[in-house]
Structure 1
Amino acid sequence: MTVISVIAGDGIGREVVPEAIETLDALGLGLRYDVLDHVNAQSYLRTGAALSDSDLDRVRASDATLLGAVGDPRVTSPDYARGVLLRLRFELDLYVNHRAVTLLHDRLSPLRDEKRRGIDCVIVRENTEGLYAGIGGALRGSSELETALDVEVNTHAGVSRVIAYAFSIARTGVCLVDKSNAVPHGGRLWQRCWAEQCAQWPGIHATHQYVDTAAMRLVADPTAFDVIVANNSHGDILSDLAAQLGGGLGTAASANLNARTGFGLYEPVHGSAPDIAGTGSANPVGAVLSAALMIEHLGHPQEALAVRSAVARSIADRRCTPDLGGTLTTRQAGAAIRAALD
C-alpha cells in the first residue's frame, strides 16, 4: 500500500490539505496517510522542536510527503521554517524544485496579448545549493562597519544532476537561465555542466538566456518556454513570476524531488497566509494540484490528468474562490473540484 506522510502545518495549510486529501480519496487509489499533525508552529512555540528525528523517520518510511504550509507570525526566528522545510530538503536530498505552470483560464492571465497567454512550462530550480545553502557570516554586527557575506555554493555534481533532470522531462527544449556574464566562477561551472549535458541530449533543443532577459521574455511571451533550469535564487524568482502568469500563487503547485530515489515532497507555494487563515477564503487549487503532481510521480498519470481537468472545469464555471473570480469558500471550492472529476 502507498503511504503518504502529511504535514498540514500552519495557517491555511490546515484548510487546503484536507481538500487535497479528499480529492485523492475520491480517485479510489487506496492511499494510506500518516498524519504528522503535531508538526506546526504551535508545537514549536511550546517545545522548541521543529521536526524531530522520529518525525523524519516517519517521512522517510513513506512513499511521498504532502505539505500544506509552514509559518506563523508568532514565530520570529527562522529556525522553525528552516527546521522543517530545509531539514527535509537537505536530509532527503530533494535537489529538484519542480514548478509546472499552465494557464488555467484566459481570464486569469495578466497579459493583454491572447496569442501569448498560454503558458505551459516547467521551472526546474536547483534546490540544495546556491545562495540558500546558508554559508556565510557577519562581522561587526549592528554597527556602521557591519559586513555580511552570503556564499553561493555550486558543485559539479549538484549542477549536473539538476540540468540532467530538466532534460529528462523536456518535451521540446530546455533553456538554461543564469548570470554567468556577471558571476564568473559559478557561471563557468554552470556553463561547463550545461555543455556536458547538452551533448548527452542531442534531440532536445537547448538555449541559454541571462536571468534579466529571461524575466522579460517570460512576460513578453511565456509560450516560448518548455523547461527552464536555473540556480536556487534565480529559479525561486522566475517560478513565482511564472505562477502569476498561470493564474496566481493560489494555484501554484510544486514538487521537491530526489529524482534518483524517486522520493518527493509536494506543496502549494502560497505559504501559510495568516491574514486569511480561518476566513474560509483560502484557495485549495494549489494544494489539489500539488497532490496531482504527487500521484503522477507515484505512477498514476491518468488520475493526475483527471484532477487537473476537474480543476480547469471548476474554474471555467467560476466554481472557485474569490481570488479566481468565484464566490465559493475553501470547502465549497474543493467540493466543486471533486464534483467535476470524470
Structure 2
Amino acid sequence: MKKYKIAVIPGDGIGVEVMKEGVKVLETLSKLTGEVAFDFTWFDWGCEYYLENGKMMDDDGLEKLKNFDAILLGAVGFPGVPDHVSLRDLLLKIRQGFDQYINYRPVKLLSELDCPIKGKKPGDIDMIFIRENTEGEYAGIGGIEREGKEEEIALQTSVFTRKTTEKVMDYAFDLAKKRNKLNHLTSITKSNALNHSMVFWDKIFKEKKANYPEIKTAEYHVDAAAMYMIQRPESFDVVVASNLFGDILTDLGAALQGGLGFAAGANINPDGKYPSMFEPVHGSAPEIAGKGLANPIAMIWTIKIMLDFLGHESLADTVMKGIEGSLEMREKLTPDMGGKGSTSQVGEIICDIMSKKLN
C-alpha cells in the first residue's frame, strides 16, 4: 500500500463543503482497493483566519507545507477581505513559493446537456490548458505613485524569464505528444500590442517547435482564440498561455464544459522539489455557502488530476467514471445542474458508482 501525506486547506465559503466530498472520494478509494492510504492534515487558513490574525496563512506556512506529498485547496475569498489580499497572500504565495510553474486545466465536455453551444457533444470539446503560473502578468511587481493626486500613476510590470517560459512550453509540447489526440499545440499571444513580453513569448515558441516536428502548431492572439473556442472548439488540443491569458480563457473553457462546477485544476511543480497543489477554481461562492448547494464535481475532478499526478491512473479513471455516471442522474445533482440534490448527496452518488466499478 502506498501512503501519502496530504495537506488540506478547505479555505473559504463552499471550499469547506466541497473539500469534504473530495476527501470522501479518496477515503472510499483507500477502503475499496487497499492500494493507497491518505494521511490528511487540515489547515484553517483563509479569509476567516485573516480577519482574526491579519494574515491569510501562518508566517511559516510554506515551511509547514513543504514536506507533504500534495496539497488540496478548496476555495479562497470572502466578503470583508480584498480579493487581491486573499489571492496573493495564500494562493499565489504557495504557487510562487513552491515554484508551481505549471497550471493544468482540463476543458472536457462530458454531456451535451451541459454545453451552451448547440450541437456539441462529448469528444468535440476536449482540450488542456497549460498556463504559466508563477510569472507573467501576476508577478506582482509595480506600485502606485503620487496616490490621491491628479498625477497618480499605477504601474504593473509583467515578468517573463527564458528559463520558466522554456520549461512551460516544453511541458506543453510533451503533453501534446503524449495525449496523441490531434498532436496539436496552440500558443496564445498578443504580440501585436505587447511588443516586448509577447514578442519574447512568440520567439521562444518558434524555437521550441523546431524540437517537436511531429507536433502541429498554431499561434492565435488571445481575442481571436476566445472567438475560435466558441466557433470551433474541436480544433483545440493542448493550449499554452501566459498567466493572465490562460486565466481568462480557462474560465471561458469552463463555460463550454458546463460551468464552473466542472472547473478542476492543478498547480504543478514538475521537478518534484516542492509539493504540487490541486484546486477547483470556482471560487468560494459566499452567496450559497453553508446551504449544501455547492456542486462538488470540480473538487472531485481535481482529485482525479491529483491521482494521475501521483501515478495512480487506474484509480483516477475510476473517479472519472464516477463523475460521468453521476451525470446520468440529473434529478439527484445540485441545483446548478438542474437537480434537487445536495453537495454531500452528489459525493455519495459518485462514491457509490465508484464502488460498483471496483467490485
TM over 0.5: yes
Q: Is residue 2:77 matched to residue 1:64?
A: no
Query: Structure 1 77/322 Cα, relative in aligned 2: closer, same or farther at 3 Å?
Result: closer
Q: Is residue 2:176 matched to residue 1:163?
A: no
Counterpart residue number, 1:17: 19
Q: TM-score, normalised by structure 2?
A: 0.91
Q: Is residue 2:321 matched to residue 1:309?
A: yes
What code does the residue aligned with 2:4 have? T
CA shift digits 1:114-164 (9 cap, x unpaired) = 369831000111111111111112222233322211111111112111111
144-153 vs 155-164, greater mean Cα deviation? 144-153
22-31 vs 226-235, greater mean Cα deviation? 22-31
Counterpart residue number, 1:101: 107
Contact 1:116–1:223 (8 Å) recurs in 2? no
Q: Is residue 2:278 matched to residue 1:266?
A: yes
Q: Is residue 2:130 matched to residue 1:119?
A: no
Counterpart residue number, 2:4: 2
Counterpart residue number, 1:86: 92
Query: Structure 1 134/91 Cα, relative in aligned 2: closer, same or farther at 3 Å?
Result: same
| Superposition CA RMSD, Å | 1.6
Contact 1:174–1:228 (8 Å) recurs in 2? yes
Counterpart residue number, 1:339: 352
Q: Is residue 2:228 matched to residue 1:217?
A: yes
Shift of 1:252: 0.7
Contact 1:98–1:255 (8 Å) recurs in 2? yes
Give the Cα separation in 1 of the matches to 2:257 and 2:346: 18
Give the Cα separation in 2 of the matches to 1:111 and 1:81: 32
Q: Secondary structure at the match of 1:75?
A: coil
Give the Cα separation in 2 of the matches to 1:34 and 1:339: 22
Shift of 1:242: 0.5
Counterpart residue number, 2:336: 323
Q: Is residue 2:247 matched to residue 1:236?
A: yes
Give the Cα separation in 2 of the matches to 1:235 and 1:17: 25
179-188 vs 94-103, greater mean Cα deviation? 179-188
Query: Structure 1 195/102 Cα, relative in aligned 2: closer, same or farther at 3 Å?
Result: same
Contact 1:243–1:252 (8 Å) recurs in 2? yes
Shift of 1:53: 4.3
Contact 1:4–1:31 (8 Å) recurs in 2? no
Counterpart residue number, 2:312: 300
Q: Secondary structure at the match of 2:191?
A: coil
Q: Secondary structure at the match of 1:135?
A: strand
Query: Structure 1 43/116 Cα, relative in aligned 2: closer, same or farther at 3 Å?
Result: closer
Give the Cα separation in 2 of the matches to 1:114 and 1:71: 33
Query: Structure 1 20/168 Cα, relative in aligned 2: closer, same or farther at 3 Å?
Result: same
CA shift digits 1:300-320 (9 cap, x unpaired) = 111111111110111122131
Give the Cα separation in 1 of the matches to 2:107 and 2:196: 31
Q: Is residue 2:39 matched to residue 1:33?
A: yes
Contact 1:67–1:266 (8 Å) recurs in 2? yes
Q: Secondary structure at the match of 1:283?
A: coil
150-159 vs 283-292, greater mean Cα deviation? 150-159
What code does the residue aligned with 2:159 have? V
Shift of 1:165: 0.8
Query: Structure 1 104/115 Cα, relative in aligned 2: closer, same or farther at 3 Å?
Result: closer
Shift of 1:43: 2.0
Q: Give the number of aligned pairs.
A: 342
Give the Cα separation in 2 of the matches to 1:77 and 1:98: 22
Q: TM-score, normalised by structure 1?
A: 0.96
Contact 2:184–2:236 (8 Å) recurs in 1? yes
Query: Structure 1 108/6 Cα, relative in aligned 2: closer, same or farther at 3 Å?
Result: same
Q: Secondary structure at the match of 1:131?
A: strand
Shift of 1:34: 3.4
Give the Cα separation in 2 of the matches to 1:266 and 1:48: 25
What code does the residue aligned with 1:293 have? I
Counterpart residue number, 1:182: 193
